[in-house]
Amino acid sequence: MIYTVKLGDSLYSIARQNGTSAATIASINGLPNQDVLVVGQSLVLPSTPSPNRPMIETNLYVEWYTEAPSETVISQVENVASLLTYMMPFAFEVKRDGSLTKMDWGRLPEVAAANNVEEVVIIVNIEEGAFSDTLAHTIFTNEEVKQRVFEETVAEANRRGTNHIHTDFEYIDPNDREAYVTFLKEFRAFAPSFIFSASLAPKTSANQPGKWYEGHDYKALGEVLDFVVIMTYEWGYSGGPPMAVSPIGPVRKVLEYAISEIPSQKVMMGQNLYGYDWTLPYKVGNPFARAISAQAAVQLAIDRNAAIEYDEVAQAPFFNYWRDGKEHEVWFEDARSIQAKFNLLKELNLLGISYWHSGFNFPQNWYLLNDMFRIKKK
């Protein structure tokens, strides 16, 4: 059950009304201070999961910006590992000669092994910090480079003790649409015992225009891959105007199209763990909005005494506040918004959910995930 804080509420009064304790509610929701709430804040109340709840698969992309993941990163993953099917350290970049960049996963393999989480090797067409269509073209069409990608990726997977390879090739030239499918078919033939999955841009039609979309053929890719992750987020993005990052209407539209081309049990919903804090008024060329976790967003609303509102159409919370003479607008995720996504996942009978990415604290998500689903372990 989810409770929305009203004027005059205290954690103790909410607990009394619902037959629980303030300490229990604080623990579930990760509240640092039981004495301070803000109007509009959502709170998950304790419940007992049904043993008959559906089983899904889950994935967490793990990202870090140091040579190896810090103990903070490790701890964040460790805290949720019992609720993960897959863990995808992001990522091995493919070079122009087909070799891969090096990655130090630190203690992540230990965490995965202790929690029966399947590690996955991800390869990406990122060069100098951005996805490159010309790099992807070389990977797909140069036979010598392609063979080296196959060999090095499989060797890396073998070193890591996994047989699962995930490709995240984005901004592919539309002329290479078929070449990407052929690349994956040949990769499968090279490593027939391996599992292959991929991230796909959020499309609503086969011929949707735009460079992010045109290189991904849902139907053909769905036939060659074991499953796909649809990146159903970034409608609200750091360089754009303030809005929900993953509004439920557009998310639904994308996923309904996806399952018209790909069996639903091959489709994972992508889900952001973050929101954004925009400075107003929004203008093209403004500094990028700051990414913010669900926990940090609620704390910011408390600190600024900013009532949280909820957009029923987008199914997303937001609030406004002032700092240094400038107004800000924050859109983020909360218990209500994530429950709406879980309900959609169940309705469409999807394989599961994939989170982008580690580093954003959102305890309500993990409690509700366990409350609504059993998690498949490999």
Query: How many other C-beta atoms can be found within 10 angstroms of the C-beta atom of residue 66?
Result: 9
User: In angstroms, rounded to a whole number, what is the distance separating the alpha carbons of residues 64 and 48?
Assistant: 35
- The pLDDT mean for the chain works out to 97
The residues, any chain, with a CB within 8 Å of residue 145's CB and separated by 6 or more, are 96, 97, 98, 138, 139
In this prediction, residue 361 has a pLDDT band, given cuts at 50, 70 and 90, of very high
User: In angstroms, rounded to a whole number, what is the distance separating the alpha carbons of residues 343 and 341?
Assistant: 5
User: In angstroms, rounded to a whole number, what is the distance separating the alpha carbons of residues 285 and 13?
Assistant: 47
Q: What is the pLDDT of residues 60-84, one digit of tens each?
A: 999 999 999 999 999 999 999 999 9
For the chain, what are the domain ranges? 1-47, 55-273+334-375
Residue 93 annotated to the active site = no
Q: What is the pLDDT of residues 239-252, one digit of tens each?
A: 999 999 999 999 99
Catalytic residue among 93, 118, 170, 214: 170
pTM over 0.95: yes
In this prediction, residue 92 has a pLDDT band, given cuts at 50, 70 and 90, of very high
Q: Is the pLDDT of residue 166 over 90?
A: yes
For 55-273+334-375, CATH gives: 3.20.20.80
Looking at residue 371, its pLDDT comes to: 98
In this prediction, residue 97 has a pLDDT band, given cuts at 50, 70 and 90, of very high
Residue 239 DSSP code: T
In this prediction, residue 378 has a pLDDT band, given cuts at 50, 70 and 90, of confident
For 1-47, CATH gives: 3.10.350.10
Q: Is the pLDDT of residue 179 over 90?
A: yes
